[in-house]
Structure 1
Amino acid sequence: MSELMTPTLAGAAAGLGVAMPMGAMSVLLLQEAMRGRRTAVAAAAGIAAVDLGYAALATALGPWVASHISPVEAWVRLASAVILLVIAARGLAGARPPGVGAAASDSGLGASAGSGTGAGSGAGQVGVFVQARPGKAFVRYVGLTALNPTTALYFAALTTAQGAALRTGAAGGAFLLGVGAASLLWQQALVTLGSLAGTRIPDRARIWTFRLGYGLVAAYAVKIALPLP
């Protein structure tokens, strides 16, 4: 059981890294929570489902890719680390007090910016996103979140670099469990926050979600890059 703890924790860190930066989807989810908690819970599950789906696809293909490139495995790990560092640097560069909404739109990572629209744009569409049934909200948020290709790139880089570690079904399953649980818990925490406080989240708090989330991505990049080729 203890050997599965490492991939589970790795998955949890990956899930938080992709979910924590607060962008357009987070704003829409908070607004959904203000209108109705049941609908928002379903919407949050839809966002987490896409994170899990991208992670599952990458986990299924990553070990296969890694097994066919073993002669240059160290260089593949380094390339994956560079991709993750670029994602992290781009997100951290946008974590500034001025234009936080624009940073959310430009960050392009995970559930946070899945719709490809800025936080301001999402807020402006509050009249369009009227309260729906939980099932419809789930499907709508799955579609919006799936529009972000950077989530797929993020998990592809992670799982290809860790191909050997995720090669067994148990390890891959534990990794996915961590991803799904962490993403779902974070989205449901936003639902609770939206129910209690609405969208009045200080800019400083939002900036710190970017810093923490992308900090996890950067730490992951360093971890998989070592030892260097």
Structure 2
Amino acid sequence: MTAALVAGLVAGYGIAVPVGAVATYLVSLTARTSLRTGVCAALGVALADGLYALIATVGGSAVAAVLRPVLAPLRWASALVLLALAARGAVAAVRQYRARRLNTRSAPPPPSPARACLSLFGITLLNPTTVIYFAALVLGTGTTESAGPLEQGVFVLAAFLASASWQVSLAGGGALLGRVLTGHRGRLVTALVSSGVITVLAVRMVT
């Protein structure tokens, strides 16, 4: 039981801690909206990580082998989604800045917490390297290979909680960033920098 718990925590933090395009978008989204929206988005990421942990626990290396042939197309799909998000975020930030500056129209409504959760859940699901990671680094070592359903459940829950704790901490950082950059120009710069970083990371994903 303890081994499964530790393995799940290690796996969850291992896949969540490296800051990539999704984490960058999460921080930027929270800075532009609210902590509630950011936390819901963070839970969407953690749910996807937990689902992949469950798939890896049940299917193991066999699932990884099945996914490897379609890994490249899924990477391209993920990169295209991230590029679309980056472009949309930049355009929305510029429009919002101009609208507030000219006072001619109101800013577009921010995404609801539920929509943010579903969006980040879907984006994270497009990253098949997560299940490859769980299968290769955790199940490949035999940590839960011979474990019973209870130990496997503990592993999946621990992986979810580890990912959730890290993603929520990123959302908290985004909320603090949003409070610091209260000016319209500061929020515009934050959104444009975030869009640029997401674009670079999306391009690197397929190169």
Q: Which of 37, 42, 45 is the equivalent residue of 1:44?
A: 42
Stretches of structure 1 lacking an aligned partner (at least 5 in a row): 66-107, 109-113, 201-229
Q: Deviations over 1:33-79 (max 9, x none)?
A: 1111111111111100010001101101239x6xxxxxxxxxxxxxx
Q: Deviations over 1:129-176 (max 9, x none)?
A: 972111111111111111111111111222243266552112111111
Counterpart contact for 1:23–1:119, Cα < 8 Å: no
Q: Summarize the Cα distance change of 1:33–1:171 in structure 2 as closer, same or farther, 3 Å threshold.
A: same
Q: Summarize the Cα distance change of 1:183–1:147 in structure 2 as closer, same or farther, 3 Å threshold.
A: same
Residue matched to 1:189 = 169
Which secondary structure does the structure 2 equivalent of 1:22 belong to?
A: coil
**Correspondence 1:146 to 2:143:** no
Residue matched to 2:65 = none
Residue matched to 2:12 = 15
Alignment of 1:55-70 (within 5 A): 55-62=53-60
Stretches of structure 2 lacking an aligned partner (at least 5 in a row): 63-74, 94-107, 179-189, 192-207
Q: Determine the C-alpha separation between the residues in 2 that align with 1:21 and 1:125.
A: 24
Q: Which of 3, 6, 12 is the equivalent residue of 2:3?
A: 6
Kindly tell me the number of residue pairs found equivalent between the two proteins. 152
Which structure: larger Rg? 2
Q: Determine the C-alpha separation between the residues in 2 that align with 1:15 and 1:45.
A: 13
Q: Determine the C-alpha separation between the residues in 1 that align with 2:53 and 2:43.
A: 15
**Correspondence 1:162 to 2:142:** yes
Higher helix share: 2
Q: Determine the C-alpha separation between the residues in 1 that align with 2:151 and 2:57.
A: 10
Q: Determine the C-alpha separation between the residues in 1 that align with 2:109 and 2:147.
A: 44
Alignment of 1:11-160 (within 5 A): 11-34=8-31, 35-62=33-60, 115-116=78-79, 123-126=86-89, 127=92, 131-157=110-136, 158-160=138-140
Q: Determine the C-alpha separation between the residues in 2 that align with 1:166 and 1:60.
A: 11
Which secondary structure does the structure 1 equivalent of 2:147 belong to?
A: coil
Q: Determine the C-alpha separation between the residues in 1 that align with 2:13 and 2:80.
A: 21
Deviation of the 1:183 alpha carbon = 0.1
Which secondary structure does the structure 1 equivalent of 2:79 belong to?
A: coil
Counterpart contact for 1:24–1:121, Cα < 8 Å: no
Alignment RMSD (CA, Å): 3.2
Paired residue type of 2:111: A
Which secondary structure does the structure 2 equivalent of 1:125 belong to?
A: helix
